[in-house]
Amino acid sequence: MRALVVGPGAEGRFAEVPEPAPGPGRALVEVRHASVNFSDLRHMGRLPEGTVLGYDAAGVVLRAAADGTGPREGARVAAFGAGAWAERAAFDTGSIAVVPDEVDLVRAAALPMAGLTALRSLRAAGPARGSRVLVTGASGAVGRLAVQLARRAGAHVIASVSRPERAARLAAGLEAPVEVVVGLDGVEPVDVVIETVGGPALVAAWALLKPGGNLQSVGWASGRPAVFPPNSTFSLGRARSLNSFGDVTAPADDLAHLLALVAAGDISLEIGLNGSWEDLDGAKTAQLGGSLTGKVVLAVGRTP
């Protein structure tokens, strides 16, 4: 079968790879759409040559798990797992959720990594109701979902973006009231930070954290180092905490929850590019170029 793999020079290329042979607890999925995450492209060079790329997929179950777990054959599903950029992929049934009829597979493919990161980092930060939650990089896929989920949980949300045009676009696309700001100047102290930018933004966000507050570092889109001034990690009062975040284990239940929210219209997904996997170079340029907002979703083996 055909798949996008790590090629020489850490570039993505098409290759013929063996058909997946799923064992117990794994289902075989015909991948219809796959989404591109920033990390898929930035960290491609860390993977061995020949590794099948991608983590986010949506499609149809071709063969249900032999042990009877997970969705039935023919079910439309969203899945999270390594090797998603292939015509067919095997996923643990604990990483697959049935897609509601109201949700198309393009949006379903855009959800797994971004949605799970937003949901679980907010959960790890503690109760949101009544708290002030700052989300940096709020026009990105993780940030936009974190904004919506935090507001839905009863938080006062401050959504920080890098440029005025992104602020206007984000504000226009959200139904719930959110405080949208450009940069972090003038932002009052907060209880929680969902930080996706890294570098100087991480340092500035840490400085805004109240005593007892929590910062979840979930991304590093800037690619720049974070240099903390001397003594900036000290403060009087209850301890502040900075946590890394990357827990995507056994995501099926959370993925099903997120898909239900999309189906009900409680959260929305922005698709910035809906193209074909034949144009990986174009997708890479769009994803890393800095001008695109919303997810990049690729149709696998067919015209979108």
User: Tens of pLDDT along 42-75?
Assistant: 888 889 999 999 999 999 999 999 999 999 999 9
CA distances for 254 relative to 133, 148, 155, 169, 187, angstroms: 21, 16, 20, 28, 31
- In three-state secondary structure terms, 226 is coil
- R_g (Cα) of the chain, nearest Å: 19
Cα 163 to Cα 259: distance, rounded to the nearest angstrom = 30
Residue whose structure tokens are 């009087």? 236
As annotated, the residues of the chain forming the CATH 3.40.50.720 domain(s) are 117-244
Please state the pTM of the whole predicted model.
0.94
Percent composition of the chain: helix, strand, coil (DSSP 3-state, to 5): 30, 30, 40
Cα 280 to Cα 286: distance, rounded to the nearest angstrom = 10
Beta-strand pair 12-16/76-80: unpaired
Tell me the average pLDDT across 129-156: 96
**88-100 confidence digits (pLDDT tens):** 999 999 999 999 9
User: Does residue 186 register a pLDDT over 50?
Assistant: yes
Fold of 117-244: Rossmann fold (3.40.50)
As annotated, the residues of the chain forming the CATH 3.90.180.10 domain(s) are 2-111+269-299
Residue 67 amino acid letter = D
The strand pairing partners of 180, in sequence order, are 159
Task: Write down the pLDDT at residue 302.
Answer: 54
179 with 156: CB under 8 angstroms? yes
Q: What is the mean pLDDT of the chain?
A: 93
Cα 213 to Cα 224: distance, rounded to the nearest angstrom = 24
Beta-strand pair 295-299/12-16: unpaired
Residue 282 amino acid letter = G
Tell me the CATH architecture of domain 2-111+269-299.
Alpha-Beta Complex (3.90)
